[in-house]
Amino acid sequence: MCAEKSAGSIDMAGISAGLPEAWSSVVVGRVGTAQIKVLRMDGRTVPEERHEAAEALLVLDGLLRLAVDGHPVDVGPGALYTVPAGTPHAVLPGSQGTLVIVERAEG
C-alpha cells in the first residue's frame, strides 16, 4: 500500500493503528529518491541489520529502544535518530508506539 499524495496531510498515527500487525510498515509517500514509511512498534525485538544508505527514524509517540553499533540508544517521542550507512543496529525489547522511517527507495 502506498498512500502517496502530491500535497496534503497524512494521518500517520491513524495509518499505523490500522496496520494488520506490528513491525509491518507501509509506504505513505516519497520525496525525491526517499520513501517515507510508518509502522507500529509492539515491544518485540528486531534483529540487527545494516543498510547501504543512511536512514532516519522519527518516533511520533512512544519509545524506540535501539542497539546501535553495540551501544544502547533510546529515542523518545518527537525525536529523530539518523543511522549512518553501514551501521549495525537492532531494536531492543520494550519499543512501543508509532515510528516513521525515511530511507532510500528500493528499486
pLDDT value at residue 7: 67
Torsion of CA 93, 82, 70, 65, to 10 degrees: -20
Give residue 6's pLDDT. 54
Task: Look over the chain and give the mean of its residue pLDDT values, rounded to a whole number.
Answer: 93
Average pLDDT over residues 19-40: 96
How many residues make up the chain in this entry? 107
When pLDDT is averaged across residues 35-59 and rounded to a whole number, the result is 97
Residue 92 has pLDDT above 70, yes or no: yes
Counting other chains too, the contacts that 20-25 makes at CB distance below 8 Å and 24 or more residues apart are 25/101
The pLDDT of residue 1 = 45
Mean pLDDT within 55-76: 98
What is 12-104's CATH number, 1.25.40.10, 2.60.120.10, 3.20.20.70, 3.40.190.10?
2.60.120.10
